[in-house]
C-alpha cells in the first residue's frame, strides 16, 4: 500500500553522500523524496508517521513526499529490482540483518552520526548494524530482543512461585524441580533446541567470547575455538542435554509448539513467539493467562546478552535528495519520535530512553536484555557463513559426540574460508 503525499516519485541518480545539509532556505527546496517503511509502522504507529510527515511538509513545503509501505516477505526482492532499475527510494527501512548486503553493494549513502538525536547513547549493538569501516551507513530505528517465554503455572506448581527466576543459579534449581515433579520424561523444563546458534552465541557473549574478530591485518577470523567462546558453547550444550527432552537435532523455527503441546515449561525466543503458544490454530488458547515473558538470566549474574533485533533507516546512494532524505530520517528518529515508540512499548534506539522501560512490566523482559546485546560479524562473507550453516552444524556435531575443542576448531577453519570474501 502506498500513501502518496504529492504526485511525483524519486529520481535514481545524484549525490553519493547524505552528509550535505539541505538548502539554507528550506522553503525554497524542491523535488521529491520517496520513503519505504515496513508495514509495522502503518499498523502500529501511524500517528508517529503522520506527525513526522507533517513536520517535514512544514519545513519543506515545496518538496513532494511519497510514503510507500512494504511487507517483509517481498521487500528485499522489490528493493533489489528498484536498485537495478535505477528507481530506488530515497529512504528505506532495513531489518538490521539486511544492512550489510546493501552497504557492501554500494547501495547506501554514508550519514553523519553526530547530526542525529541521542547518537552518543545509541544501543551499541544496534549502531554496529549500521557501521562498516568506520563509517555509518544507516540510522538505528528501533530494537528487538530475545527473552525467556515460560508457563507460569508450571513454575508455580513445581516451585511455589509463578515468577521466572532472576539468576541462572535459581533458574537451574527451578528447572530441576520441574523435572523432578513431572512424570512425563518427554517434558522439557527448558526447551533449548540443539542447532539454535543464536542462543549458543548469546552464551558465548556472556562469557566474553565471540564468533569472529577483525584483526590488525585487515581480515576477519573465526574465534569460536578461543577459550571464552568454548566456555559459552559448552555451557549452552550442557543446558540442551540436561533440559531439552525432545529431538536435540531439531532447530528453533517452531519451538513454541513444544509449550503449546504441553511438552515444555519454558523456552528462549522472540517475544512474539509467546502469542503463538496460546493462539487458536497454532497453539492452546487455555494457556493464554499462563504464558509470560521474562529476562533470561545469564551465567555471569547479568541478563543473557541477546542477539539484537530491530530495524534501521538508510539513505540510498543514488538518491538526488540525500540531504532531504537524511533530514526526514532525523525527524523520524528524533528524541520525540523515539519517545512515541517507547510509549507504545517499542524499544527505542538509545539507552537513555530505554531506561524507563526496564522497570515497566510490559517491556522489562526485553529492555533489560538489550544493553549488552550482540550482533553477527559485519564481515563481507558473513552471509556465506550463515548459508553454509557452519554454526548449527558445529552444535549438532557436538551434541552427537564431537568434542567442543575439535568442533570449534573445525568451525573456525570453515569460517576463515568464507568470512573475508564478499558473498
State the pLDDT at residue 245: 96
Mean pLDDT over residues 69-93, rounded?
97
User: If DSSP states are collapsed to H, E and C, what string results for 212-234?
Assistant: EEECCCCCEEECCCCHHHHHHHH
Q: Between residues 357 and 217, which one has the greater pLDDT?
A: 357
pLDDT at 367 over 90: yes
Per-residue pLDDT band for 422 (boundaries 50, 70, 90) equals: confident
Per-residue pLDDT band for 218 (boundaries 50, 70, 90) equals: confident
Give the closest residue to 306 by CA, choosing from 352, 360, 365: 365
The mean pLDDT of the chain is: 93
Mean pLDDT over residues 157-183, rounded?
94
Pairing of strands 139-144, 220-222: unpaired
Pairing of strands 146-151, 291-294: antiparallel
Residue 38 makes CB contacts below 8 A (sequence gap 6+) with 69, 70, 71, 72, 75, 93, 311
**Interval 249-298: pLDDT, tens:** 999 999 999 999 999 999 999 999 999 999 999 999 999 999 999 999 99
State the pLDDT at residue 15: 38
Q: Residue 182 CB: number of other CB atoms within 10 A?
A: 17
Instruction: State how far the Cα of 3 lies from the Cα of 13, in Å rounded to an integer.
Output: 23
Q: What is the DSSP annotation of 350-390?
A: BHHHHGGGGSSTTTHHHHTTSTT-B-----TTHHHHHHTTH
Give pTM, 2 decimals: 0.89
Amino acid at each position: 500500500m502506498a500513501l502518496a503525499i504529492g504526485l511525483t516519485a524519486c529520481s535514481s541518480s545524484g549525490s553519493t553522500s547524505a552528509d550535505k545539509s539541505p538548502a539554507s532556505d528550506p522553503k525554497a527546496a524542491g523535488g521529491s523524496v520517496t520513503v519505504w517503511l515496513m508495514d509495522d509502522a502503518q499498523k502500529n504507529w501511524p500517528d508517529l508517521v503522520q506527525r513526522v510527515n507533517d513536520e517535514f511538509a512544514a519545513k519543506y513545503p515545496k518538496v513532494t513526499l511519497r510514503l510507500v509501505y512494504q511487507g517483509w516477505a517481498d521487500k528485499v526482492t522489490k528493493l533489489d529490482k528498484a536498485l537495478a532499475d535505477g528507481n530506488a527510494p530515497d529512504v528505506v527501512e532495513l531489518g538490521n540483518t539486511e544492512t550489510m548486503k546493501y552497504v557492501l553493494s554500494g547501495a547506501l549513502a554514508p550519514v553523519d552520526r553526530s547530526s542525529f538525536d541521542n547518537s552518543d547513547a545509541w544501543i551499541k549493538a544496534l549502531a554496529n548494524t549500521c557501521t562498516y569501516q568506520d563509517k555509518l551507513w544507516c540510522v538505528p530505528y528501533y530494537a528487538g530482543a530475545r527473552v525467556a517465554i515460560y508457563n507460569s503455572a508450571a513454575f508455580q506448581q513445581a516451585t511455589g512461585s509463578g515468577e521466572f527466576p532472576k539468576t541462572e543459579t535459581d533458574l537451574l534449581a527451578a528447572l530441576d524441580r520441574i523435572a523432578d515433579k513431572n512424570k512425563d520424561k518427554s517434558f522439557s523444563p527448558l526447551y533449548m533446541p540443539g542447532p539454535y546458534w543464536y542462543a549458543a552465541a548469546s552464551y558465548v557473549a556472556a562469557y566474553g567470547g565471540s564468533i569472529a574478530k577483525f584483526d590488525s591485518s585487515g581480515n576477519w577470523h573465526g574465534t569460536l575455538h578461543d577459550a571464552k567462546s568454548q566456555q559459552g558453547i559448552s555451557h549452552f550444550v550442557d543446558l540442551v542435554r540436561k533440559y531439552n527432552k525432545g529431538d536435540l537435532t531439531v532447530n528453533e523455527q517452531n519451538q513454541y509448539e513444544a509449550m503449546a503441546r504441553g511438552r515444555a515449561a519454558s523456552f528462549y525466543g522472540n517475544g512474539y513467539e509467546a502469542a503463538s503458544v496460546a493462539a487458536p490454530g497454532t497453539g492452546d488458547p487455555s494457556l493464554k493467562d499462563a504464558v509470560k515473558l521474562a529476562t533470561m538470566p545469564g551465567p555471569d549474574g547479568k541478563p543473557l546478552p541477546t542477539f539484537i533485533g530491530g530495524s534501521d533507516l538508510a539513505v540510498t546512494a543514488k538518491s538526488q535528495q540525500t540531504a532531504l532524505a537524511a533530514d526526514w530520517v532525523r525527524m523520524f528518529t528524533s528524541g520525540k519520535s523515539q519517545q512515541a515508540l517507547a510509549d507504545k512499548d517499542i524499544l527505542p534506539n538509545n539507552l537513555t530512553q530505554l531506561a524507563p522501560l526496564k522497570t515497566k512490566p510490559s517491556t522489562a523482559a526485553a529492555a533489560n536484555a538489550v544493553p549488552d546485546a550482540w550482533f553477527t560479524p559485519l564481515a563481507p562473507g558473513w552471509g556465506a557463513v550463515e548459508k553454509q550453516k557452519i554454526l548449527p552444524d558445529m552444535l549438532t556435531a557436538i551434541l552427537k559426540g564431537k568434542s567442543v575443542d575439535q568442533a570449534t576448531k573445525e568451525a573456525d577453519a570453515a569460517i576463515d574460508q568464507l568470512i573475508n570474501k564478499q558473498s
